[in-house]
Structure 1
């Protein structure tokens, strides 16, 4: 078996991406793979490294401090199981538990498993264990369905089942394949959850993957990077939706999605981007919104001792002046948030329903928050003020995941490990006294119950009739409702349709009424009358669920009428959902409803986005209505929405819409002439060929005057040195729309050295939008007057079109431009270019530049580790050489990873990351190339993406949001966004200063 040295010893603080955030763009996560010549002599600290031994399950149980109203009980421990990281319950109350003993094992893989645990005497504790599934590699998720389970173990999602009754799976089918597994094994497929919509929802973490579904005869590939998956277990089909977080995804009672990631303890996803995908011209704001008021810096109240190795590491840094003296204390804030779970159990007091629980295994505790509405979003402040909801003095306690149980309790999965931090990030002289896999034969599961809890009988729901299952939808326990709904869906027994309709219309519990509606939908037994009652339900959340279901019935005039009526609903949440759901059909009343919603909430960016998502058709009609609405144009948010519609109308190939748009502009009063010009300019900013033809064929004097006046104004403002720089930069945006014959001389003037930096920067960037071969010559002529920063921008522009790139290479060949002006990672991309001519020319021009073989540089700069660094000087080095991609102490741009966690890393590792960023690149810091349908090439870091668009952050500090409809190719370079060759800018003393500053920064 191949060595896993470069795989197992790669993980940060904790399992499943619960580690500390990476430090440098393209962080190399393997330190052990560096040449031994790069290491320093090691000191023996064995006398200072007493091992903290594991405790027995009974001893560990005594180590907890828990909320006064609750008690914690041990329900399973070794030898029944080991290293639990995920679990689910079946209809009999048995638990399928995913085990991952491979964590931190550099020598072996493929020995993880799924155990089946059973409570045979009904006392609430598991007493029997079956080896349900063995010989898995890094399994991370499990969910019960039809007597078996779906198991996530990248790259596969399996369906496994025991058909013989011996507790061991004899069926193992690959349902999907292609899920990512990065070299740090972070944030893989996780958190299988049953949704109200009768589907299984799960997260793909940060690794995503190009996934194929076995049952799909067309073998379509789904790019799941940054997405969540909605899986129909019956048809074995999938849909992609909004994603986020790393390990941990939870659904609330009403299917609201929550995620977490390392130092981001809790986020709510603000929309389902299946709605966004309907309008390919919409670029929405990012869906994940942080709801913890303190975010990463929420104070955590740890009660466990600080491990001796942490104290030793701190002292080593302090003595060598290479790190911040931590005083032997943990950092005290989130660095390993994982397993976010919404409590939905019925055994606790009602006020705890909807509370959020997050594991912090690096601090041996469980954090609780109590969310409350905050507009359309939430805010989730700390629920326990003076201590954590649950904390342990046992440093081996590692809560990595949670589960709502059949008994209404909350279950806590404790991986129980000596070391939950990735071994590479601990100095060699320290790690040799620890066991990186210590605890791989141990693991515990606890449950939290209120004091005085009475153990209920074990469920036997599989033996119940369908009518009895319907009655269970009245339960206050989320697991019970989910399981009853799932079993009804599995059976497809339509004989209970009458009972479900009765429940949907008469139950006193809103969640029951909604679940009954969805169950009817799952059985294809929902009638119009019952759905109309749901749309008129007294509870806002039921109306929201009914709206979502109504999208399947949108051809019905009666349903359409009631959906439109909800545009005037008293609940903002209902209006928000209506703005999405109305996009399921196209009609004049639909547009009227959307206009009503918008007028009531114009200042709300989420409402504006939701309305536009439903306007793939009818955008010009809505634009025309709004510009005629008295007073609407006065508000900035109203103008912003109309600008977005103008861009969409221009980009769409709909001549009738463009004509209506131009007619609407002509009807605008003269007092709004400035706005008229803005809307016209935005129409042209991404104008399709169809739009340009309509304008060219137009006989309207108004349109001709607009076009002429727009360019004249833009030229005057761009060249006017007395105007504020921002006004000039805005004018430059318009210049890119005009004919280059008219703007060439203007751009040439804007590139002159006398112009402000921001003006020159804007001119270079906007030239990239001008499709004219003469642009390259203009930039090359200005080259000698461009600063390094501007040359970087010029390279971005010249690389964006093939003809310009050839001109650039020709100038390098002729000696007009120094080859050193082109960064090494750009050179590597050139040498991989699919165009043979470009590739050959690059190889001849840049034969001396290479991206590998960094050992000599790394070896040379080991001397920096022995020098005394000056943090004050290091801050200056940071501003000059790092601030373009990193932000620290309110300086710089936050594209790369959070550098504040530097004190939790070894300085040697950071030095290696800086000097050799391409050794092993984290997936979120890989450089991508986007080739647009207009022939542009955009290169950079994927900052965010959703169903409709990708935002690319470029090396020069600018960014572009590109609609997927405009993307011809998306190519991964497999190279770090962080460039090599930083040693050319930083000598050894400056490197020592920089490292000192990174370690000391607060």
Structure 2
């Protein structure tokens, strides 16, 4: 029940002959710049030949003043999907070797995935040594180095391996449900260790932290699809496949406590709303390329369909104009998008850097940038899976299968490239992370964000308590706010942050410093000091610190632990003071799970106008709570329709939500949907062949960007049993507040036979005619 547009969506270009200008290969064959140019020669775009990494670089067109350099390629690396640098500037790379060996996924469950270390031994910028650290993994997807060990995401589990001299020793199960449900294109990933010392994920609502020998798992907002990054202040950014960039305005650990809210203002916000892309080659083979407006008149993709792992550039190499820039790869269009972000208080919005062009684009169809990273030398690294076909079998249409067969796009498989983008002529040097605590503290003020992050993590992982005096001094200095911010969070990670330090920060005139102090409150608040914080919060209210107001609401539950009345009073004061502020309103409501109506009665006298933003948003939460009370028992349905429940969990849930109410930016609700509970003759074709939006559900028209425009069918898979599809539909028609009759296996079989020649998704108009 999900759309066909995914992070690994791959082109299957038609056999029509197209022409455009070709990039000229540089003399060295290893860098590409705009000056290396587009010559007036013809390229046959009906072919997608496998070419060397040097030849692939020559097909790239990059922004003026920049060049692309190869740092690793096959056979040194294969199928890279994620990576990170260690203290020695070595690359730890996740190789998803087993992904889609052919169009039916033969052998995809073979344990051939690896975690490898790549080293540049002669320091010439090209990595030349490979060491396998962990092998025999099934489709690994993310890693995180922490505390002399490594986290490895191998669905469905998250493991922590102890390391000794680059050897993986015993492993500890951190979460056996890390990637429960979903399929390979829709499972958690990222494992981003952020400023606040927690580890966050995309396509997930969980965060992780190692405290002593134990792992703590907490729930946060559900975020993204493939890839996750952070800015200098620890706010996270991500996307879905058809969204350029999505982000959180507030620190990522707050505001996810009320299950009756279907979104909290300031989280999952569209940081960049413009989803246009500008390929430099025809891309007619995208999954819905035959449909109107997917391609332009020159058969090039119009908008994102496979947005992948973004990065907020935080290096010190590109220059000031690239500060607060976010880059997003689009593997289906063989390009990398540049966006420019701007702050207005806690709101961060951006625009595309260019019209009608990209920061980097390629005419090589097999160039598949899937993840971007900041680096120890200030450059930006690009992971390229370098494959012709990566679309997963779950969503592979007959159209794509046909193109793959005609064009031989399946092979070769064991390829992959890693590039870095640098200013033209630059010779940046890798910064390594020392062990000396004094040197590490100094690096917390380094202009390269990667260096600051890793110096902080090194101090924490090595438990460098001897650095605490220097960290306190750094916290007090005002010349370099980023130095102070990293000092604060290093103290927090060492469990050395003091009450008076945090309260002092809450009074700082610089908002970005105050923001960090507010975020750090949960780490230091106790039964012995909560009254000091409650008093400090009242002072913030008195001085009308609008920027801090949502944070005060997010912090109310930490006061409530020790004094329920004080917490409730704080929420009432915020509501009365800011009834029209949607961010404050939602932050207040995030505290009120199943207490919404009681709180409404308490504040009606002061905030009685139903047009106030607070009342409108509170009323939605009340309605959601009442709706949830009428939901049917999921455990009973699971017993009745076990195959249907399993299919829903693996295919539908990630977009439509576990509660059936839809996921913001992804899909409309199934709960009480007239499409679900209505005619079987309309519902079965949707599940078999998919639906292209817009679509009206219960009187509301859902279309992009409120949702992604397409939902893929699962009937293209001839091996999918009709009995299982019938169970899925019956499960959905009986779940939540739905109470429609079952769908039989015979009904699905008849519809599959009737529509056996169908090869494209339905539109609402077509279905209404059935």
Task: State the match for 2:532 in structure 1.
Answer: 558
Task: State the match for 2:233 in structure 1.
Answer: 254
Residues 1:501 and 2:472 are matched in the alignment = yes
Residues 1:304 and 2:281 are matched in the alignment = yes
Q: TM-score, normalised by structure 1?
A: 0.59
Measure, in 2, the Cα distance between the counterparts of 1:156 and 1:74: 33
Task: State the match for 1:231 in structure 2.
Answer: 209
Largest Rg, 1 or 2: 1
Measure, in 2, the Cα distance between the counterparts of 1:979 and 1:609: 45
* Pairwise CA RMSD: 4.8
Instruction: Pick from 480, 485, 489 the counterpart of residue 518 of structure 1.
Output: 489
Q: CA, structure 1 residues 620+172, in 2 after alignment: closer, same or farther (shift >3 Å)?
A: closer
Q: CA, structure 1 residues 450+489, in 2 after alignment: closer, same or farther (shift >3 Å)?
A: same
Residue 886 of structure 1 deviates from its aligned partner by 5.9
Measure, in 2, the Cα distance between the counterparts of 1:979 and 1:202: 38
- On the 8 A contact 1:175/1:236 being kept in 2, the answer is yes
Task: State the match for 1:348 in structure 2.
Answer: 318
Instruction: Pick from 335, 345, 360 the counterpart of residue 365 of structure 1.
Output: 335
For each residue in 1:55-110, what CA deviation from the matched residue of structure 2 results, as whole angstroms up to 9, or x when unmatched? 21111111111121322211111121111100011111111011112121133221
Instruction: Pick from 430, 439, 447 the counterpart of residue 476 of structure 1.
Output: 447
Residue 265 of structure 1 deviates from its aligned partner by 2.8
Alignment of 1:344-423 (within 5 A): 344-373=314-343, 377-422=347-392
Measure, in 1, the Cα distance between the counterparts of 2:318 and 2:582: 37
Task: State the match for 2:693 in structure 1.
Answer: 888
Alignment of 1:161-200 (within 5 A): 162-163=163-164, 165=165, 167-180=166-179, 184-200=183-199
- On the 8 A contact 1:12/1:184 being kept in 2, the answer is no
- On the 8 A contact 1:11/1:422 being kept in 2, the answer is no
Q: Identify the range of structure 1 (328-337 vs 494-503) with the bigger mean alpha-carbon deviation.
A: 328-337
Q: Which segments of 5 or more consecutive residues in structure 2 lack a partner in the other structure?
A: 12-43, 646-680
Residues 1:293 and 2:266 are matched in the alignment = no
3-state SS in 1 of match to 2:389: coil
Measure, in 2, the Cα distance between the counterparts of 1:830 and 1:104: 27
Across the two proteins, how many residue pairs are aligned to each other?
677
Residue 245 of structure 1 deviates from its aligned partner by 1.9
For each residue in 1:213-255, what CA deviation from the matched residue of structure 2 results, as whole angstroms up to 9, or x when unmatched? xxxxxxxxxxxxx423233264322222112222112222222
- On the 8 A contact 2:440/2:459 being kept in 1, the answer is yes
Measure, in 1, the Cα distance between the counterparts of 2:220 and 2:594: 22
More helix by share: 1
Measure, in 2, the Cα distance between the counterparts of 1:994 and 1:55: 32
Residues 1:81 and 2:77 are matched in the alignment = yes
Task: State the match for 1:443 in structure 2.
Answer: 416
For each residue in 1:490-520, what CA deviation from the matched residue of structure 2 results, as whole angstroms up to 9, or x when unmatched? 1222222111111111142222222211211
Q: CA, structure 1 residues 251+913, in 2 after alignment: closer, same or farther (shift >3 Å)?
A: farther
For each residue in 1:940-977, what CA deviation from the matched residue of structure 2 results, as whole angstroms up to 9, or x when unmatched? 3xxxxxxxxxxx57477xxxxxxxxxxxxxxxx9x99x
Q: CA, structure 1 residues 465+882, in 2 after alignment: closer, same or farther (shift >3 Å)?
A: closer
Alignment of 1:697-846 (within 5 A): 829=641
Task: State the match for 1:613 in structure 2.
Answer: 590
Residue 485 of structure 1 deviates from its aligned partner by 0.8
Instruction: Pick from 611, 634, 643 the counterpart of residue 636 of structure 1.
Output: 611
Q: CA, structure 1 residues 272+478, in 2 after alignment: closer, same or farther (shift >3 Å)?
A: closer
Q: CA, structure 1 residues 830+509, in 2 after alignment: closer, same or farther (shift >3 Å)?
A: closer
For each residue in 1:337-393, what CA deviation from the matched residue of structure 2 results, as whole angstroms up to 9, or x when unmatched? 111222222222233233222111011001122233478544332122231111111
Q: CA, structure 1 residues 438+426, in 2 after alignment: closer, same or farther (shift >3 Å)?
A: farther
Residues 1:467 and 2:465 are matched in the alignment = no
Task: State the match for 1:115 in structure 2.
Answer: 116
Measure, in 1, the Cα distance between the counterparts of 2:404 and 2:694: 31
3-state SS in 2 of match to 1:371: strand
Residues 1:329 and 2:260 are matched in the alignment = no
Residue 999 of structure 1 deviates from its aligned partner by 11
3-state SS in 2 of match to 1:123: coil
Q: CA, structure 1 residues 72+830, in 2 after alignment: closer, same or farther (shift >3 Å)?
A: closer
For each residue in 1:684-703, what CA deviation from the matched residue of structure 2 results, as whole angstroms up to 9, or x when unmatched? x96xxxxxxxxxxxxxxxxx
Instruction: Pick from 571, 593, 599 the counterpart of residue 576 of structure 2.
Output: 599
Residues 1:94 and 2:90 are matched in the alignment = yes
Measure, in 2, the Cα distance between the counterparts of 1:87 and 1:182: 24
Instruction: Pick from 426, 438, 447 the counterpart of residue 453 of structure 1.
Output: 426
- On the 8 A contact 1:359/1:400 being kept in 2, the answer is yes
- On the 8 A contact 1:230/1:241 being kept in 2, the answer is no
Measure, in 2, the Cα distance between the counterparts of 1:603 and 1:81: 54
Instruction: Pick from 461, 471, 474 the counterpart of residue 490 of structure 1.
Output: 461
Residues 1:431 and 2:408 are matched in the alignment = no
Measure, in 2, the Cα distance between the counterparts of 1:129 and 1:830: 45
Measure, in 2, the Cα distance between the counterparts of 1:394 and 1:999: 37
Measure, in 1, the Cα distance between the counterparts of 2:634 and 2:336: 52
- On the 8 A contact 1:191/1:202 being kept in 2, the answer is yes
- On the 8 A contact 1:339/1:401 being kept in 2, the answer is yes
- On the 8 A contact 1:93/1:458 being kept in 2, the answer is yes
Measure, in 2, the Cα distance between the counterparts of 1:616 and 1:374: 30
Task: State the match for 1:981 in structure 2.
Answer: 747
3-state SS in 2 of match to 1:573: coil
